Amino acid sequence: MTLKERIEAFAALGKILRDALDGEENMCTAELDYLINNQHLVNPWFTPSNVRSAVSAIADELTKENLFRWTDAYQALKNEPGGRNVGIVMAGNIPLVGFHDFLAVLITGNNVIAKTSSKDKDLIMFTARILCSINMEFSERISFTDGLMKGFDCIIATGSDNSSRYFEYYFGKYPHIIRRNRNSIAILDGSETESELTALGHDIFSYFGLGCRNVSKIYLPEGYDTDKLAAAWKEFEGIADHNKYANNYDYNKAIYMVNREPFKDFGFLLLKENTSISSPVAVLYYEFYRDINNLRNEIDNHKDKIQCIVGKNNIPFGMSQHPHLWDYADGIDTVEFLLKKN
């Protein structure tokens, strides 16, 4: 299978998913509709709207234009290297979070040995079946395992800081990418419009804030009136209707009250001043700054904990959960890694 054929297959996958999301009958419409409406029974965080959003974001990126633009940047790809068995240990924090690694391995002509999260198994296996129906050659290049991973030449593993220590122990002797906990931040300068602040709400509340690209902390210019945020994010108050989110909100609020820690209560989100970057579910940390250059230096010191930065001259407000194919997790070029002859 040539690179062109692989690109055409993934572009076809994107179109099939998009058409199905738009209600057009095709080979996957019924199954996708079932998965969208029933994944919350497997993982309560995977609500229909969240699953639909994740599938939609992937479908939007899988166009021939995007795929060619992405792969054209790698001269070595034109030599059709590939042929290696690549193990992928997938996370399960948001729907289809392991898809980009899956795509990168296959687009480079390599073979996937995937160990899915029990929390996000059905969706990635569904997309694999559709891909194999588009081009049967993929069926020889994709395998899934529930047990111990074997027969791989290199590994891409994503998990928590705790699980990454196990990954280092088991996979350290192989060429690897091991991803740990990361969070995203937003920098406001005080000139944001109400629509920009509302868009920032999507970066915070999408997927209940569970993704590494979700904003978990905001930096505000000294003297900033946080009441503006409460007004701009009122449309997201329905998030508190979700039982697990509401439990986290109530628990964290109770802890802060018992410990007499100051916080601002938006009724569906707790805003708390804190120097940490990673905040609990239903909590958004904030910190004031005086000098933007000093802030940039401070952020640079924590770059190994930051996935992306939202704000002016950074990722536009509302777009943190819409990465392009060439936007790599942790800033590590997965394709470049896969093209190396280790």
Mind listing the pLDDT tens digit for each residue in 69-82? 999 999 999 887 77
Question: pLDDT > 70: what percent of the chain?
Answer: 99
What is the rounded CA–CA span in Å between residue 111 and residue 105?
7
pLDDT in tens, 215-229: 999 999 999 999 999
pLDDT at 341: 64
pLDDT at 165: 86
pLDDT in tens, 106-157: 999 999 999 999 999 999 999 999 999 999 999 999 999 998 889 999 999 9
- Domains, the chain, in order of start with CATH, read 3-181 (3.40.605.10), 183-310 (3.40.309.10)
- Calculated CA dihedral for residues 133, 136, 141, 143, nearest 10 degrees: 50
Q: Taking the model in full, what pTM does it have?
A: 0.94
pLDDT at 45 over 70: yes
